[in-house]
């Protein structure tokens, strides 16, 4: 049963679908997908084309918008929009520490999660598209990991697309996870240096917090162990438009005086918990590196192994001198599954995924080379999360793709820009600019 309801300027409808867990076994187990249909309140009776939005991640449900913020208002001028909770996220059949034991042990859980990558997400889209559009192709907007999914869509089912818009999400077609992180750490270091140039007072603040964490065991209210390495991972916010400012405000009031001496304040700990906990998106940690898996070579904790090539990120070594502490970014490590109580029961499952050697290819360079779908991509200059050089190499490999390379926005430009990024990308797909 579908339910429709109103918010300012929009009508929303809950949509639910069932799809095969394994699309190669359509008669086997099925899982549920949830999506939210959105249409402008003055266009509810109009026959509009569809735009499906693929959220970044992996592991995040689609945005829960109220009204028409960010890019949505622009899209609703001409589309009905489907905000899809990709499999395992949001209100779709969940995959987390509470539900995964239903699958069995770590090996069985890993086998299950192997079906939660871009290839399965695209096949989900194709499975539900006839019901949503009546069979007509739709436009896809892919943000970040959603852009990775879009390139898989162009590789495997381009007949389902009338146009594609990608924001901060052109992946390398053939890079191993090692290559991804080898390119990432210098990029992260540049973002941290830019932060310290803006807020030089944060150099000492960050060092002081890290020193405290190396000397004290700090457990956040939900049982999260805040280690120095976990603290460094707060640098993930530096890839967003307001991230540097947000990090600065977090650091400036970290300590309070107590009878036992300086301690990290409850307010600081609460905000850190909100930034670092994977409770709301465990799939991000579980399948993050698996998103780069193609072929027989395992990902094998690539971010952790490659980090050893960049000793400047070692907090303990940094604090023996007087240099600035380097934050890290979008990476998952073995210790991630030790610090976070939402992930601890899944450590062995993560090990199974890291060792996996049977990843299917996600992209088809030959098919992309003859692409006929109008495609445009926003490539953010020195994007913290997706390597610009990799993105531009892929852009050249997709026939007809038009790029907009800009340093006006960070990775979240499609949100931060209001209608501008989506408006420009749609115009590029139509040769209007």
φ, ψ for residue 89, nearest 5 deg: -120, 165
**Residues carrying an active site annotation:** 144, 358, 411
Number of neighbouring beta carbons within 10 Å of residue 112 = 21
Tally the C-alpha atoms within 13 A of residue 173's C-alpha that lie toward its C-beta. Answer: 18
- Give kind and range of the element (H or E) at residue 261: strand 261-264
pLDDT of residue 219: 97
CATH (residue range 4-174+363-429): 3.40.50.1820
Query: How confident is the model over 255-267, as a mean pLDDT?
Result: 96
Strands (E) in 41-109, as ranges, are 50-54, 80-85
Share of the chain above pLDDT 70, in %: 100
Distance CA 348, CA 191 (A): 33
Arithmetic mean of pLDDT over the chain: 97
- Ranges of each domain in the chain: 4-174+363-429, 177-355
DSSP 32: E
Residue 2 above 80 pLDDT? no
Distance CA 216, CA 374 (A): 55
Number of neighbouring beta carbons within 10 Å of residue 242 = 12
Distance CA 266, CA 126 (A): 47
Nearest one of 245, 233, 239, 315 to 276, comparing CA atoms:
233
Number of neighbouring beta carbons within 10 Å of residue 128 = 20
Q: Provide long-range contacts, Cβ within 8 A and 24+ apart, for 360-365.
A: 360/119, 360/294, 361/294, 361/295, 362/117, 362/118, 362/119, 362/148, 362/151, 362/152, 362/155, 362/294, 363/151, 363/152, 363/155, 363/171, 363/173, 363/174, 363/294, 364/155, 364/156, 365/173, 365/174, 365/397
CB 125 within 8 A of CB 32: no
Tokens of 246: 């947000």
- Burial class of residue 282 (count of CB atoms within 10 Å of its CB; 0-12, 13-18, 19+): buried
The CA distances from residue 59 to 80, 92, 120, 145, 233, in Å, are 24, 11, 13, 9, 18
Residue 81 above 80 pLDDT? yes
Tokens of 80: 């009905």
pLDDT of residue 168: 97
For 116-181, what is the HEC assignment? CCHHHHHHHHHHHHHHHHCCCCEEEEEECHHHHHHHHHHHHCHHHEEEEEEECCCCCCCCCHHHHH
Residue 1 above 90 pLDDT? no
Helices 347-355, 106-113: inter-axial angle, 10-degree rounding = 60
The reported pTM is: 0.97
Nearest one of 425, 368, 372 to 398, comparing CA atoms:
368
Distance CA 330, CA 411 (A): 12
- CA 363 from chain centre, in angstroms, equals 18
Q: What is the pLDDT of residues 375-387, one digit of tens each?
A: 999 999 999 999 9
- Per the DSSP assignment, residues forming a β-bridge with 18 are 32
Q: What is the pLDDT of residues 38-53, one digit of tens each?
A: 999 999 999 999 999 9
Nearest one of 401, 344, 351, 398 to 378, comparing CA atoms:
401
Query: How confident is the model over 77-92, as a mean pLDDT?
Result: 98
Task: Name the pairing type of β-strands 255-258 and 50-54.
Answer: unpaired
């Amino acid at each position: 049963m579908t339910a429709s309801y109103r918010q300012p300027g929009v009508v929303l409808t809950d949509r639910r679908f069932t799809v095969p867990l394994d699309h190669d076994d359509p008669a086997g187990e099925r899982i549920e997908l949830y999506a939210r249909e959105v249409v402008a309140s003055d266009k509810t009776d109009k026959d509009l084309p569809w735009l499906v939005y693929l959220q970044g991640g992996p592991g995040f449900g689609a945005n829960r918008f109220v009204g028409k913020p960010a890019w949505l208002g622009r899209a609703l001028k001409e589309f009905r929009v489907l905000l899809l909770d990709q499999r395992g996220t949001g209100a779709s059949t969940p995959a987390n520490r509470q539900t995964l034991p239903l699958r069995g042990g770590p090996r069985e859980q890993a086998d299950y999660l192997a079906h939660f990558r871009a290839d399965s997400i695209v096949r989900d889209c194709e499975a539900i598209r006839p019901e949503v559009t009546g069979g007509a192709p739709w436009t896809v907007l892919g943000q970040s990991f959603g852009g990775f999914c879009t390139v898989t869509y162009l590789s495997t089912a381009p007949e389902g697309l009338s146009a594609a818009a990608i924001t901060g999400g052109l992946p390398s077609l053939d890079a191993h996870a090692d290559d991804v992180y080898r390119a990432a750490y210098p990029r992260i270091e540049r973002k941290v240096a830019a932060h310290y140039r803006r807020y030089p007072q944060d150099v000492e603040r960050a060092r002081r917090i890290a020193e405290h964490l190396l000397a004290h065991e700090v457990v956040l209210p939900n049982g999260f162990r805040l280690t120095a390495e976990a603290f460094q991972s707060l640098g993930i916010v530096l890839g967003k438009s307001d991230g540097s400012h947000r990090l600065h405000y977090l650091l400036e009031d970290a300590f309070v005086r107590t009878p036992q001496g300086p301690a990290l304040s409850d307010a600081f700990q609460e905000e850190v918990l909100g930034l670092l906990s994977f409770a709301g998106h465990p799939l991000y940690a579980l399948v993050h590196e698996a998103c780069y898996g193609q072929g027989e070579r395992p990902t094998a904790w690539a971010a952790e192994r490659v980090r050893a090539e960049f000793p400047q990120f070692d907090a303990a070594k940094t604090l023996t001198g007087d240099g600035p502490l380097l934050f890290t970014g979008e990476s998952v490590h073995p210790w991630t599954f030790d610090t976070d109580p939402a992930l601890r029961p899944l450590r062995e499952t993560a090990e199974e995924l890291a060792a996996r050697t049977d990843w299917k290819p996600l992209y088809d360079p030959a098919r992309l080379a003859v692409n006929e779908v109008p495609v445009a991509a926003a490539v953010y200059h020195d994007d913290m999360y997706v390597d610009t050089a990799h993105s531009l190499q892929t852009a050249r490999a997709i026939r007809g793709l038009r790029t907009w390379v800009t340093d006006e926005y960070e990775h979240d430009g499609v949100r931060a820009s209001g209608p501008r990024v989506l408006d420009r990308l749609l115009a590029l797909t139509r040769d209007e600019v």
